[in-house]
Amino acid sequence: MAFAQYLECGFIQNTHGTRGVLRVQSWCDSPRVLLALPAVYIKEGELMRACRVLGGSSAGGDLVLLKLGGVEDMDAAEQMKNQTIYAKRTDLPLKDGEYFLADLPGLPVIDADHGTPYGTVIEVREVGGRRLLNIQTEHGERLYPMVAPLLSHVDVEHGVYVRPIPGLLDE
């Protein structure tokens, strides 16, 4: 995939003021992660255009006021509205045991204690502030909460290991 080295990290909702500042909904674990990036990327057809992060601040919750290189006034900022912004994977270092949610679709879901396969992750959903795995099982799609102790651990090389309560993933 041509864009595999990039991850979605936010959405440009609107402009802020007259000097090219953007109002961005951050999809990172914290707005600080977005503000610490050296650059963000905008998808333009088959290419990614880099925009240096010059500064910004948290605007409360998951909102960030972001100043990007090359966006000098409100007209330039207006052109950026309603676009997803991306980060390079290499600019988002992971600690041991951490993983990107974008890497979960396609992974097998496996019983952590018995090795029984339950299905495959289709997607990760955010519902009511909770993360859920949408899993394709032999009984159809199932939503599975990403909470301990139901989620044992994730190994992006081998699968998502779970400890389901009866009836959650089986018939």
Helices then strands, each counted (H, E), the chain: 2, 12
Burial 37-67 (b: 16+ CB within 10 A, else e): bebbbbeeeeebeebebeebeebeebbbbbb
Q: Where are the domains of the chain?
A: 6-91, 101-162
CATH of domain 6-91: 2.40.30.60
| Residue range 110-144, pLDDT digits in tens | 999 999 999 999 999 988 879 999 999 998 999 99
Residue 136: φ, ψ to 5°: -90, 115
Residue 92: φ, ψ to 5°: -120, 75
| Residue range 13-25, pLDDT digits in tens | 999 988 999 999 9
Which architecture, in CATH terms, is 101-162? Roll (2.30)
| Residue range 23-65, pLDDT digits in tens | 999 998 888 899 999 999 999 988 999 999 999 998 888 899 9
Per-residue tokens: 111? 């019983």
On whether the CB atoms of residues 159 and 109 are closer than 8 A, the answer is yes
Residue 31: φ, ψ to 5°: -60, -30
Q: What's the predicted TM-score (pTM) here?
A: 0.81
Residue 135: φ, ψ to 5°: -115, 130
